[in-house]
Structure 1
Amino acid sequence: MESWYLLYCKRGQLSRAQKHLKWQAVNCFTPIITLEKIVRGKRIAVSEPLFPNYLFVLFDHTTTLSATRGVSHFVRFGALPATIPYRVIEELQIHVGETCVDPQTPQPGDTVLIVNGVFEGLCAIYTEPDGETRSMLLLNLLHKQVSQSLDNRQFQKV
């Protein structure tokens, strides 16, 4: 009888392990999400595994996977590999491809701290992105709110 199991793959070799398992006719699944975050000052969307280095596989006990390239070991609880309920896999498959926002990426209304530049040390309110590399912030200067566009590398979410 086939069951879902969880494999731990060697660092950076998830796609290699998946490719080699598919050659062995093993059904593989790794949930991929699109994550919106700021990288090197640019706001971008990046696709990455929800569980880095982990791969769900569906097979029966007659299949051997220990020598597959990229695979490190089965996730175990005790002596036996842990089985994953079908409903968990179905729920993960429903949400594949959804876009999430990195918790460190500021959203409108978030408080940010300006870490360099003319306004260094001031707190501001993030209002909206201003292109790929800049954002609009609301600063409180001399008891007056001023909207200012700053480079994304000049502030961080508090």
Structure 2
Amino acid sequence: MKDKILGITKNTAQWVVVYTRSNFEKRIDKNLKEQGILSYCPLITCRNQWADRVKTVEKPFFSSYLFVKASLFDITKVRSSPGVINLITNNGKPVVITDQEIEQIKLITRNYSDAQVVSIGSLSIGDKVKINDGALFNVEGIVNKVMGTKILMIIEQLGCAVVVKANQVALSVAS
């Protein structure tokens, strides 16, 4: 067996992104932990309202995604777990997430209960958004232009426009 397959080394565990069946994130996380594999399913607490009651529930921050710290040996177990569809890859190699990025996700999910994942592709000119992190925390603005992973926002209360790097701040649709 090679020491390195698909960019993952035989003995060194790295964080990879796993694509799961819909609504299987927490089950897979539990299953992998029971097998001794370090996994992380970021959860946020939200309130669901039905006609007869309101209930606080934990739901995955990233729908159909899970993070697993796995070595080459563990990848086979991960892929064969019920509910796992595949690893997220780029150019045929699993996407590797750094420990710092995992810590940032943990920080966001722990400190910002109203944080949401907003796909850049789903943002349109005129959408109202709120910055949930950084120097402009809690400032609302209107999307003026989407430029790859950057967003040009008009902030009326400050009378200015700013460019926000989407990978450095969490955005949520303002209500």
Deviation per residue, 1:109-148 (Å, 9 max, x gap): xxxxxxxxxxxxxxxxxxxxxxxxxxxxxxxxxxxxxxxx
45 and 100 in structure 1: CA distance in 2 versus 1, 3 angstrom threshold: farther
Letter in 2 for 1:88: E
Confirm whether residue 48 of structure 1 aligns to residue 59 of structure 2.
yes
Alpha-carbon contact 1:29-1:57 (below 8 Å) kept: yes
- In the other structure, the counterpart of 1:13 is 24
Q: What SS does the aligned partner of 2:73 have?
A: coil
> Per residue, is there more helix in 1 or in 2?
2
| Structure 2 contact 43–61 (Cα < 8 Å) conserved | yes
Q: Is residue 2:85 matched to residue 1:69?
A: no
Which runs of structure 2 are paired with 1:21-60 in the superposition (5 Å)?
A: 21-36=32-47, 38-40=49-51, 45-60=56-71
Alignment of 1:5-154 (within 5 A): 5-36=16-47, 38-40=49-51, 45-63=56-74, 64=76, 65-97=78-110, 98-100=112-114
> How far 1:36 moved relative to its partner?
4.3
The percent of aligned pairs where both chains have the same amino acid is 23
* Greater relative contact order (Cα < 8 A, sep 6+): 1
Rg larger in structure: 1
Does the residue aligned with 2:15 lie in a helix, a strand or coil? strand
Question: How far apart in 1 are the matches of 2:27 and 2:53?
Answer: 29
| SS of aligned partner of 2:58 | strand
2:98 counterpart letter in structure 1? P
SS in 1 for 2:29: helix
Structure holding more strand per residue: 1
Q: TM-score, normalised by structure 1?
A: 0.56
Shift of 1:38: 5.0
1:75 offset after TM fit, Å?
0.6
Query: What SS does the corresponding residue of 1:96 show, helix, strand or coil?
Result: helix
**Bigger shift: residues 91-100 or 51-60:** 91-100
Distance 1:95 1:22 in 2: 23
Q: Return the TM-score normalized by structure 2.
A: 0.51
Which residue number corresponds to residue 116 of structure 1? none
Distance in 1 (CA, whole Å) between partners of 2:80 and 2:48 is 37
Q: Deviations over 1:73-105 (max 9, x none)?
A: 101111111001211101111233442178xxx
| Unpaired segments ≥5 residues, structure 2 | 1-11, 117-174
Q: Counterpart of 1:57 in 2: which secondary structure?
A: strand
